[in-house]
Amino acid sequence: MIALTGAPVDSRAAAPIPHLVEKDGRYALIVDGKPFTMLGVQAHNSSNYPGALPEVWAAVKDAHANTLEIPVAWEQIEPVEGKFDFSYVDTLVEQARRNKVRLVLLWFGTTKNTSPAYTPEWVKFDNARFPRMIDKDGKVGYCLSPHSEETLKADKRAFVALMGHLKKIDESHRTVIMVQVENEAGTYGNPRDFSPKAEAAFRQAVPQTVLARKKSPISGAASGNWSEVYGAYGDEYFHAYAIASYIGEIAKAGRAVYNLPMYVNAALRDPLEPMAPWKNNFASGGPSHDVIDIYKAAAPAIDIAAPDLYASESSRVSANLELFQRRDNALFVPEMGNSAIYSRYVYQILGRGAIGVAPFGVDYADYTNYPLGSKLTDKTMVEPFGKIYATFRPMAQLWAGWALEGRTGGIAESDARTPQTLSFKDWNVTVSFRQWQLGEQPEKPDMKDIPPGTETPSGGVAVAQIGDNEFVVVGQHARVKIGPTGANAGKSTLYARVEEGRFDESGKWVMTRNWNGDQADHGLNLTGRPAVLKIRMGSY
């Protein structure tokens, strides 16, 4: 291991610190001064130790990922109060540089999947100093209370130490490009803390910063305490404010030391369920779609509320992407299932302009989180994502720039397997599925003779309009047709040129061949091998 603590600072000027930029409600993550698309993978929770990293890096390589998301646990850096051990962080950062991969560090502090499991033992078992939440019946719960100043102080101190260490070892390299603060915060089985301190806060007036952003879904008072303003929603909204304020204080303190972008991830409520008060069906107080405004008000040091996608139905994926992509919230999917059925969503997510995406559990540890993810733990688990990432990676910087300009769109094959259309300036792009490369076959879910690899939904297409009549299309298992609309409506159009190829590392297009005749007469047919097409349309 190369020890990084106290390492001499690189003689070259430090690259600009990673940061988010916004343009007309669209976002890009800037790394080394340029737009960056995170083609990420997230390691398993227990792969955050030096001895486990070889199995992580092997999977990262096979996935062709440019970014690894991996935990740093409070219990591992401060096992004894006030004594910090960053040897794992040093090893991780050094090995990431060696593997030419960026890092997103996941701070598993007070909360990991709502639990204090990753706190040090001196926190975990001292209820007097670090109190847990109390339920309505006065019973002690499993979650640490977000109203505890002592817990906040201890978590903040550890996080600030981590950020200070990152600044010391990485400021001149920028290996670490983003930090997640806590993990899937919230509470299962209890809408909020009912301790005396929490009860007193619940009876206080809702802060003006919250009232300005979060309107009541019912007919409530314009101001007042949480019950008066939000009625039956008051418990959840109050809990969201308490947790967001807690996380926001930690993030603010960390950014004061080393100002990397920071986000929170959400264990999701059902996006298709009609809005209703919490009824023990999701993690109350976490950054679910209905309380993003409260998180924005209470935690301005947090840049993004990000969805963790583990419901594979296309209707739920699409609904969650729609709910979390907002003018004030960049789209970022830091976790989704690692089974093959999720791979097609990479096209939809990146096409929508997300700053990045990462399937969870992508390492070769002997563990699988099925049924949330794949049953597989070897290269066959990685391959569906790896072949997409390998295609996107040479154009990742270009793609991020196009997305920031609002030039991109994306489609994943739906469970209904019906055609879908993307609208661009003066052109529509229509995508259909389960088509052979020649002729017009019926698009029926019960087709008996279907192309190999399309037994289950597996198609996806991402499109960038790079000029008035020019497009870049990347995709698989799909048929693409481009038709006139807008100013081109009523015109007769043809493909002027359809080049298959790739972008090199400098962003220059390298053509492999030009599609014509059979390869273009029945639409542009993309097989199970992801391909990149550069298309120019013409009219007569």
Average pLDDT over residues 500-506: 93
pLDDT tens profile 275-330: 999 999 999 999 999 999 999 999 999 999 999 999 999 999 999 999 999 999 99
**Rounded distance, CA 477 to CA 413, Å?**
9
pLDDT tens profile 122-137: 999 999 999 999 999 9
Round to the nearest angstrom and report the end-to-end CA distance of the chain: 65
Torsion of CA 63, 69, 70, 72, to 10 degrees: 170
Tokens, residue 14: 């430090």
**Rounded distance, CA 323 to CA 287, Å?**
12
| Residues 306 and 183: beta-carbon distance below 8 Å | no
Per the DSSP assignment, residues forming a β-bridge with 39 are 357
Residue 118, C-beta contacts closer than 8 angstroms, at least 6 positions apart? 71, 73, 74, 75, 108, 109, 112
Q: Which pairing describes strands 38-42 and 34-36: parallel, antiparallel, or unpaired?
A: unpaired
- Say what the pLDDT of residue 9 is: 37
Average pLDDT over residues 404-411: 98
- Say what the pLDDT of residue 352 is: 98
Q: Which pairing describes strands 102-112 and 67-73: parallel, antiparallel, or unpaired?
A: parallel
CA angle 237, 284, 245 (to 5 degrees): 55
Whether 242 shows a pLDDT value over 80: the answer reads: yes
- Say what the pLDDT of residue 218 is: 86
The DSSP H or E segment spanning 314 is helix 314-324
Burial class (CB in 10 A: 0-12, 13-18, 19+), 12: exposed
**Angle, helices 149-170/87-98, rounded to nearest 10 degrees:** 40
Q: What is the 3-state secondary structure (H, E, C) of 422-488?
A: EEECCEEEEEECCCCCCCCCCCCCCCCCCCCCCCCCCCEEEEEEEECCEEEEEEECEEEEEEECHHH
pLDDT tens profile 476-501: 999 999 999 999 999 999 999 999 99
Per the DSSP assignment, residues forming a β-bridge with 106 are 71, 180
- At residue 5 the predicted structure's pLDDT band, cuts being 50, 70 and 90, is very low
- Say what the pLDDT of residue 68 is: 99
- Say what the pLDDT of residue 309 is: 98
| Residues 90 and 136: beta-carbon distance below 8 Å | no
Backbone φ/ψ region at 366: left (φ over 0), alpha (ψ -120 to 50), beta: beta
Nearest CA to 183 out of 241, 266, 103, 254 is that of 266
- Say what the pLDDT of residue 447 is: 65
Whether 376 shows a pLDDT value over 70: the answer reads: yes
Whether 112 shows a pLDDT value over 90: the answer reads: yes
- Say what the pLDDT of residue 219 is: 86
Whether 268 shows a pLDDT value over 80: the answer reads: yes
Per the DSSP assignment, residues forming a β-bridge with 511 are 501
**Rounded distance, CA 43 to CA 55, Å?**
10
- Say what the pLDDT of residue 174 is: 98
- At residue 6 the predicted structure's pLDDT band, cuts being 50, 70 and 90, is very low
Whether 185 shows a pLDDT value over 90: the answer reads: yes
Average pLDDT over residues 352-365: 98
pTM: 0.95
Whether 446 shows a pLDDT value over 80: the answer reads: no
- Say what the pLDDT of residue 47 is: 98
Residue 287, C-beta contacts closer than 8 angstroms, at least 6 positions apart? 185, 186, 240, 244, 264, 265, 266, 295, 305
Whether 395 shows a pLDDT value over 70: the answer reads: yes
- At residue 450 the predicted structure's pLDDT band, cuts being 50, 70 and 90, is confident
- Report CA-CA distances (Å) from 173 to 4, 197, 265, 482, 528: 12, 44, 26, 43, 37
| Residues 532 and 500: beta-carbon distance below 8 Å | yes
Tokens, residue 230: 């939000």
pLDDT above 90 coverage of the chain, percent: 93
Q: Is the dihedral of CA 385, 391, 396, 399 positive or negative?
A: negative
Tell me whether the omega of the peptide bond preceding residue 371 falls within 30 degrees of 0, making it cis. Answer: yes
- At residue 442 the predicted structure's pLDDT band, cuts being 50, 70 and 90, is low
- Within 13 Å, how many C-alpha atoms sit on residue 149's CB side? 1
pLDDT tens profile 254-267: 999 999 999 999 99
pLDDT above 70 coverage of the chain, percent: 96
| Residues 262 and 224: beta-carbon distance below 8 Å | no
- Say what the pLDDT of residue 7 is: 34
Burial class (CB in 10 A: 0-12, 13-18, 19+), 9: exposed
Residue 325, C-beta contacts closer than 8 angstroms, at least 6 positions apart? 331, 352, 353, 354
- Say what the pLDDT of residue 8 is: 33
By residue count, the chain amounts to 540
Whether 81 shows a pLDDT value over 90: the answer reads: yes
Whether 404 shows a pLDDT value over 80: the answer reads: yes
Whether 528 shows a pLDDT value over 70: the answer reads: yes
